[in-house]
Every structure is written in C-alpha cells, then in structure tokens.
Copies of this chain bind each other. A is one copy, B any other.
Amino acid sequence: MKTVIIGASFAGVHCALRAKQLRPYEEVVIIEKEETLGYIPSGLILLLNQHIKRLDEATFISKDALEKKGIHLILGTSATKFNFSEQYIETTKDRVYYDKLVLAMGSSQISQKLVSNHPGFLTYKKKKDSELALEKIELSKEIAVIGAGQTGMELASALVNKGKEVTLIESMSYPLYKSFDEDVIGPLISEMSQESKLTTYFSQTVKEIKGDNLESELTIVTQQNTISCEAAFLSTNVRPDLSLFEEQLDYHTDQTLKIDAYFETSQPNVFAIGDLVQVPSMLLNQSMYSPLINNAIRSGQICAENLEEKKVAYQGSIRVIGTYVFGQYLASCGLTEADFFLYEEPIETLILDIPLSTIEQDKKIKIKFTYNKNTKILLGVQMISRENILEKINRYTLAIESKMTIDELAKKDHFYHPLYANPVSDII
C-alpha cells in the first residue's frame, strides 16, 4: 500500500509517523511545497520572546528523523492537479500515484476581504514569512495586530515585550473569545490596560487596509477609527484554500472539506486532516472548525489508523488550549458561554479563586467550572493565573472526556505537598 500525504504540517507528519508505526510495510510519502519542513507556526513569537535565538530552532521534527523512520520526503514540490478517479496527483515535478491520499495542506490567515500588497502587511505561519516579518519588525516602531485570538494575543504580547508600540484590533468585545468567558478574562484585561505600549480596540471590525503607496505607512480603517502603523499582522480566523481541488471534493460553507468519522472525504481513498476539516465536538451534537495543533496531530494519528481499514472512529475534540500572554497563563477546555445555546440541557457555572498551594496563598488561580445542572457532568474548565498552571488543564480534559461529574471528580485522588498543591480538590 502506498500512502501519499500532501503537506508536512503537524497533521501530515503525525499521520505519516503513525502510519509507519502501525504498518512498517507501508510506503509513506510526504509531498511538501517548501524546501524545509517541521517549522512551528509560532516560531516568530518564540523568537521575539527570546525563547529561541534563531528561527531554525522552531522546529518540531527534522527531515532526518522522518527519513530514519522510512518516510519518503518530496520537498520543494507542489501538487498542481488531482485525478481522484485514476488515483494520481500532478506535481511541479513528477506525477505521483497513490493507493491512499491524505490531504494535510493546513490553513492560512489570508483574508479575501483584507488584502494588501504593502510590504508592511505581514503573516508568519511559514518560515520564510516569519523571516520577512522579523526584518520588518526590526525596522518598525508601530505595529498593528488584527485579531485577539490565541495567535494574535501571543503575537501582540511578544511585540510589546520587544518594545514595540502595538495596536490590537478585535471584533469581539474581549480577547481570547473562543476559549474564555469575559468573567474569567478580567485579570488579563487589567494586565493589558497597564501596558503603556499597548493600545486596544475591541468591538471594532477592520473594514479596509490602505497602503497602496508602498513607501508610506499602512492605514487600518475600522468603523470607528483610522489607525496608522508601519507594519500589520493579520491574525484573524484561518481557513483552508480549496481552489486546488476544483470542486471535486464536497465541502462545507466554511470552506472545510466534508469527511466521515474516519477522515475520508467524498472521494474514496482520499482523506483530509488537520486544518482542512472540522472536528466533531465531544460535547455538542455538531462539528466545529477548531484549527488547533493538538487537534491537527490527533486527526493525523487517527486518520493513519483508518487508512487500510476503517477501524477507529474519531471521538472528537473538546478544544483544549494553554498559553501565556501579558504575564498571565491561560488554559481552557470544553464549553464556554458562547456554546451554551448549542447545548440542550441546563448549564451551571462556578467561579473560584483558589491559592496555588497551602503555602503559596498569595499566588492565585481563577478557575471556572461549567457543568450540566441536572447530571453535574463536567463540560468545561477555564483557568487564569500568573503562575504556570497549564498542566492542570490536561487532568480536567481527561475528566471531561471520561464524562465525569464534578462530584466524582472531587473524590478523585491527587498528590499533596504544602508547597505545590492544595489539600483538597479544586472543586468540592
């Protein structure tokens, strides 16, 4: 069996690794249009925050590591045309036949509405874009970030750390809207309001980006404001680019490909993973577009288990994230208030301010539990703290995945140490 994977994204690479692990006899080929692979999309942010010294270090896997596993790499090569009935792909080099095809080209932050060919209009998910962005950042003093989701916030925070004057523009009324409720995010808002180098415009939608005169500054126009800056990053919603498939594959209105529970598209033997597809919500009776790296990796791994024979239906995601922005660690999994209208039973929430540990009473964690009011089954957890509490979200994720009630969870064991833990469960 020959499996061809298009795109050395997190999804594509982990699909290849799992396929080779499960079926060492399988021929696994990755076709990637860049000459290099394994770049971490937030590499620029890691560099700005001085966690790495060069963009090269922002690598989650190397060419060597993949080749050692027996995975065949065809780099610097783009798929140009798909013939699904004959099971081959035309590329910028040779024609490639496949038994199973996995589409893993990922998504991009290109907006059809907000376009500009001004050199200050930047993206950074690809390494070469990060390199260009880095040069421009060095030369710029005033930089705008459009979109205060996770990547927009991480970028804005990193640029402020770097000493830039940052303008952050977001259409929702507060940041990180997809994973946090406004009553949890309070400490972050107050932290941000004290950043003298940060200007925020919430509840403002960008209408237009002007920068036709390539020598001058960029101008960002919202309903209420006109903002001038030397550089601007678009960190709004990402979407896949389906133009290559020429309507041969069924897709949703949000431009994601339709798949079954085993990641197979409307064409037999053609699978799609990562940012090309929606993921079923484990908690709601529907699928959602949730382009997180952990979702991408799991989609690749589970797709690999189903390539030869459909065996493992994907159980879905509960959208677990963890990040650090503006001095605050934030983690979330499961439902937020924005999802409540999609859930068919009554929901209750509880917000607690708990200390980090018996001894560290002054270090606080704000934590919000969301659960089914009738059954008490846990549905969501949100946390914010100045301390690194990110790892805690993984236990709550497991509890939600196991359909545990808050009462059951409160009775479960955990280690106790007066310096590192609280004596009782977070929720009692």
- Tell me if A252 counts as interface (CB < 8 A to partner B): no
A393 neighbours in B (Cβ, 8 Å): 415
Interface 0/1 of A329-348, CB less than 8 Å to B: 00101000000000000000
Q: Is the beta-carbon distance between B42 and A415 smaller than 8 angstroms?
A: no
| CB contact between A402 and one of B14, B297, B402 (< 8 Å): that residue | B402
Known: A302-B411, A420-B324. A358 touches B60 (CB 8 A): yes
Partner of A415, one of B60, B322, B424: B322
A293–B393 alpha-carbon span in the complex (Å): 24
In the complex, chain A residues 371-428 whose Cβ is within 8 Å of any chain B Cβ: 388-395, 397-399, 401-402, 404, 411-421, 423-424, 428
Residue A52 interfacial (CB < 8 Å): yes
Known A60-B423, A297-B424, A412-B397; judge A417-B359 contact (CB<8 A). Answer: no
Q: Does A31 contact B (CB under 8 A)?
A: no
Whether A398 pairs with B395 at a CB distance below 8 angstroms is yes
Least distance between A52 CB and chain B CB atoms (Å): 6
Provide the residues of chain B in CB contact with A398, threshold 8 Å. Answer: 395, 398-399, 402, 412
- A414 to B401 CA separation, bound complex (whole angstroms): 11
- The answer to whether A414 and B294 have CB atoms under 8 Å apart is yes
Nearest B-chain residue to A40, judged by Cβ: B418
Task: Indicate whether A298 reaches chain B with its CB closer than 8 angstroms.
Answer: yes
Tell whether A195 is near chain B: CB-to-CB under 8 Å: no
Task: From the candidates B294, B419, B423, name the one contacting A413 in the complex (CB within 8 A).
Answer: B294
Compute how far the CA of A241 lies from the CA of B46 in the bound complex, rounded to whole angstroms. Answer: 57
Check if A317 is an interface residue, CB within 8 A of chain B: yes
Instruction: Say yes or no for A58: interface residue by CB 8 A criterion.
Output: yes
Q: Is A115 an interface residue (CB 8 A)?
A: no
Q: Which residues of B contact A57 (CB under 8 A)?
A: 359
Residues A1-21 near B (CB distance < 8 A) = 10, 14, 21
Nearest chain B CB to A232 CB, angstrom units: 24
Chain B residue contacts of A58, Cβ below 8 A: 359, 418
B51 touches A321 (CB 8 A): no
A367 to chain B, nearest CB (A): 14
Given A294-B414, A415-B294, CB of A390 within 8 Å of CB of B42: no
